[in-house]
Amino acid sequence: MIEVDLHKRLGDFSLDAAFDIGRTGITALFGRSGAGKTTLVNMLAGLLRPDSGRLRIGGQTLFDSSKGVNIKPERRRVGYVFQEGRLFPHLSVRANLYYGRRFAPRGERYVEPRQIIDLLGLGGLLARRPATLSVGEKQRVAIGRALLSEPRLLLMDEPLAALDAARKSEIMRHIERLRDEVGVPIVYVSHSLDEVARLADHMVVLAGGRVIATGSAVDIMSRPDLSPHTGRHEAGALIETRVAGHDTFGLTALDFPGGVLRVSGLDLPLGTAVRARIRARDVAIATSVPHDLSILNVFQGRITEMIPSGAAAMDLQLDIGVKLWARITRRSAHELGLAPGREVYALIKSVAIDRHSLGLALPPRRD
Amino acid sequence: MFALTELEIEAILLSLRVAFWSMLFSLPIAIAMAWLLARQRFYGHALLNGLVHLPLVMPPVVVGYLLLLLLGRNGALGAWLWDWFGISVAFTWRGAAVASAVMAFPLMVRAIRLSLESVDIRLEFAARTLGAPPLWVFATVSLPLMAPGILTGAMLAFARGFGEFGATITFVSNIPGETRTLPIALYSLTQVPGGESGALRLLILSVIIAMLALFASEFLARRVRARMEG
């Protein structure tokens, strides 16, 4: 359990953050730039001294202004993966990876260096110097270096910001495996909903230095009242599914409580838990069973809520077994005579759900 | 024609010895001072910075005289050193090394401080999140990254020590075999009739030595940089 209650004033900006994080999984610290995300993680790492408050990790107090406790960063055992990697340029990859290991208490080691090096695919890079690595490789080394120092908490501050889409996806696959196989709690700072949808189990939403929501990623990403903070165009729902089959047309069927969602082929074994983010703007509405239509994903449901969105749009919350959001024009809503309680059909284009919107969910815990 | 005379060899070896020891002893102090000035904020920061730079802007003779007042057998510090340790630096080659070190100190601190300021402090933060205490971080991250600047500073100090004249002659005088370094020997030759050819030989010698030192430091700097870029 990580308990955070920290306050800091920096010029005109003030940060007040209080929330708890579980011992496992990835917690996304989400917010626009300037929301105070980096300020907060720097305080968690001990690189920035809060004005007041408390910070506890696994029962140990790292900061408590009322008791005058402020553990130095080198004694916190909080790993930090920086946006720019920050590898030591004069050391080899191997020396970078092992830099913090000598300081990790022997009795509390849980990381096997060889396993991490294999997991992150660093075996062939060990003798190289950081200057000769690509941006993606540097970031993988930075993640490995933080893990080999045996952290009790791993902070990642927008580790993918400098990468292109293909590299992002590759590193996210590595981070998913770390979460599942290493089991260190991760605080993942991001302003990208795609990354959060794919990786996060929990979410803390920051805006203007305040925590405006905390909870499970699935719940928070499906809340339209947060869309001013998460981005209006990105508003939508997160649905937990399971791979049910692959067809000969290159589509994968995902089972969920509302039926079967067909998406572009996923190279995943049957039964794999997958989270799909469905943007409200990718969902259309019909009032009768549609015929002669290219859209494969049609779900029957009921309108539970209608919220005007912007000048001309209307957001509909639908219950199709799970919560779903649809964004249509107000004109359509009027012409179709839509109202809460009304039975409708939700139409989702398969190709609208791309790989970036799909994440491997945290597997069920064995303990 | 260019077989070196005994006096020339003596002057060169003495100059090299003075320059080497003055450089070696001021190096750790200069690194500590550079760290203090670059990485710490404290009351009197500007004053200390000014003090360090003083030898650069004061006439060398004034510095030499100040050293004599301070470190002479009857000086404030000199008397204490003599009473407690039986050490006196006045009118010895060690005194010449002290004078060189003081004169070269600002150059050395400047070069090292510049290199420390160019070390990304965020790398030091990263090292601390990995569990390394500050002194370890300095020794394993900051210091290696400062290597080119330290090399430049040492080289500058060495050159300054090799050629130091004003403060040296004022502080430790002109004693053959003890404090008559190459520039002082050259000066002495220009003061006696018929000394011109000997002075010219020393001039050529000092040019050669200076060039050799430059090449050596350039070579070292290139190797350090090559290592860094791997």
pLDDT-derived band at A366 (thresholds 50, 70, 90) equals very low
Name the CATH code of domain A238-360 (choices 2.30.140.10, 2.40.50.100, 3.40.1080.10, 1.10.3300.10): 2.40.50.100
Chain A residues close to B145, C-beta within 8 Å: 89-90
pLDDT of residue A232: 64
- Distance between B225 CA and the closest CA of chain A, angstroms: 10
d(Cα A348, Cα B28) in Å, to the nearest integer?
70
Within-domain flag for B144: yes
How far is residue B107 CA from its own chain's centroid?
8
Give percent of chain A above pLDDT 90: 41
Q: Which of chain B's residues have a Cβ under 8 Å away from the Cβ of A130? A: 230
Instruction: List chain A residues with CB under 8 Å of B132.
Output: 74, 99-100, 103
A166 HSE (CA, 13 A, CB side): 2
Q: Which two tokens stand for residue B148?
A: 């080119």
> What is the predicted pLDDT for the residue at B17?
93
Q: What is the pLDDT of residue A176?
A: 84
Q: A78 contacts in B (CB within 8 Å)?
A: 129
Query: Given this model, what pLDDT does residue A365 score?
Result: 40
**Fold equal for A2-221 and A238-360:** no
Q: CA B24, CA B167: separation in Å to the nearest integer? A: 19
**Torsion sign, CA atoms B208, B213, B216, B222:** negative
Yes or no, beta carbons of A86 and B126 under 8 Å apart: yes
pLDDT of residue A179: 83
Which tens digits make up the pLDDT trace of A320-346?
A: 988 888 999 999 989 998 889 999 999
pLDDT at A38: 92
Average pLDDT over residues A279-296: 86
Q: What percent of chain A has pLDDT over 70?
A: 95
Chain-wide mean pLDDT for chain B? 90
Determine the Cα–Cα distance for residues A199 and A267; give it in Å rounded to an integer: 18
Q: How far apart are CA A234 and CA A230, in angstroms?
A: 7
Q: Which of A84-88, A191-195, A203-207, B49-53 has the lowest mean pLDDT?
A: A191-195
Residue A114 has pLDDT above 90, yes or no: yes
C-beta atoms of B144 and A74 within 8 A: no
CA dist A61 and A44 (Å) reads: 12
**CATH architecture for residues A2-221:** 3-Layer(aba) Sandwich (3.40)
Is the pLDDT at B221 greater than 70, yes or no? Answer: yes
Structure tokens belonging to residue A263: 């998406």
Contact yes or no for B127 and A78 at CB 8 A: no
DSSP-based three-state secondary structure for B137: helix
Q: What value does the mean pLDDT take over residues A301-322?
A: 88
pLDDT at A367: 37
The answer to whether residue A110 neighbours chain B at the CB level (below 8 Å) is: no
pLDDT digits (tens, 9 = 90+) for B141-164: 999 999 988 988 998 899 889 989
The predicted structure's pLDDT at residue A147: 93
Partners of A93 on chain B (C-beta within 8 Å) are none
- What's B95's domain CATH number? 1.10.3720.10
**A120 interfaces chain B, CB cutoff of 8 Å:** no
ipTM score of complex: 0.80
For B132, the closest of A76, A100, A130 (CB atoms) is A100
Residues above pLDDT 90, as percent of chain B? 63
The whole-chain average pLDDT of chain A stands at 87
* Tokens matching residue B96: 């010449």
Q: Is A339 on the interface with B (CB under 8 A)?
A: no
pLDDT at B54 over 90: yes
Residue of B128, B130, B225 for testing the chain A interface, max A β-carbons within 10 Å:
B130
- Inter-chain residue contact B132 with A72, CB threshold 8 Å: no
pLDDT over threshold 60, residue A181 = yes
Nearest CA in chain B to A144: B130
pLDDT digits (tens, 9 = 90+) for A138-167: 999 999 999 999 999 999 999 888 888 778
Question: Strand A26-30 and strand A13-21: pairing?
Answer: unpaired
Whether residue A135 has pLDDT greater than 80:
yes
Helix spans in chain B (H): 6-39, 45-57, 60-71, 76-85, 93-117, 121-129, 134-137, 143-163, 166-172, 182-191, 196-229
Count of the separate structural domains present in chain B:
1
* CB spacing of A131 vs B229 below 8 angstroms: yes
Predicted local confidence at residue B5, as pLDDT = 87
Which residues on A lie below 8 Å from B230 (Cβ)? 92, 128-132
Assigned domain for B1 exists: no
- Residue in A with minimal Cα distance to B226: A90
The pLDDT value recorded for residue A362 is 47
Please judge whether B129 and A73 are an interchain contact, meaning their C-beta atoms are less than 8 angstroms apart.
Answer: yes
Tens of pLDDT, residue by residue over A6-65, are: 999 998 999 999 999 887 789 999 988 888 999 999 999 999 999 999 999 988 999 999
Cβ–Cβ below 8 Å for A104 and B228: no
Range of the domain at B169: 6-229
d(CA A291, CA B19): 94
Which chain A residue shows the shortest CA-CA distance from B132? Answer: A74
Q: What is the pLDDT of residues A52-99, one digit of tens each?
A: 999 999 889 999 999 999 999 999 999 999 988 899 999 999 999 999
The pLDDT assigned to A354 comes to 65
Q: Which residues contact B135 (CB under 8 A, 6 or more apart)?
A: none
CA neighbours closer than 13 Å in the CB half-sphere of residue A45: 27
Residues of chain A neighbouring B134 (CB-CB closer than 8 A): 74
Inter-chain CB proximity B144 and A90 less than 8 Å: yes
Query: Which residues sit opposite A19 in a β-bridge?
Result: A4
Q: List, for residues B61-118, the tens digit of each pLDDT value.
A: 999 999 999 998 888 888 888 888 878 888 899 999 999 999 999 999 999 999 999 9
Nearest-angstrom CA–CA distance, A117 and A199:
21
Domain boundaries of chain A, sorted by first residue: 2-221, 238-360
pLDDT of residue A291 exceeding 50, the answer is yes
- From B98, B3, B1, select the one nearest B55 (Cα to Cα): B98
Whether residue B229 is predicted with pLDDT greater than 70 in this model: the reply is no
- Evaluate whether residue B54 is within a structural domain: yes
Question: Hey, which residues does A9 pair with through a beta bridge?
Answer: A14
Q: Above 70 in pLDDT, residue A219?
A: yes
Question: For residue A247, what are its two tokens?
Answer: 């067809």
pLDDT computed for residue A281 by the predictor: 85
What is the residue-wise DSSP string for B166-187? HHHHHHH---TTTT--HHHHHH
CA distance B145 to chain A (A): 7
With helix as H, strand as E and coil as C, how does A4-47 read? Answer: EEEEEEECCEEEEEEEEECCCCEEEEECCCCCCHHHHHHHHHCC
CB–CB contact A74 B145 (8 Å):
no
Question: What are the angstrom distances between the C-alpha of B95 and each of A150, B102, B155, B167, B181?
Answer: 53, 11, 20, 10, 12
**Per residue in B16-42, pLDDT tens?**
999 999 999 999 999 999 999 998 889
Q: Residue A233: which pLDDT band, with cuts at 50, 70 and 90?
A: low
> Do the chains contact at B230 and A129, CB–CB below 8 Å?
yes
pLDDT at residue B50 is higher than 90: yes
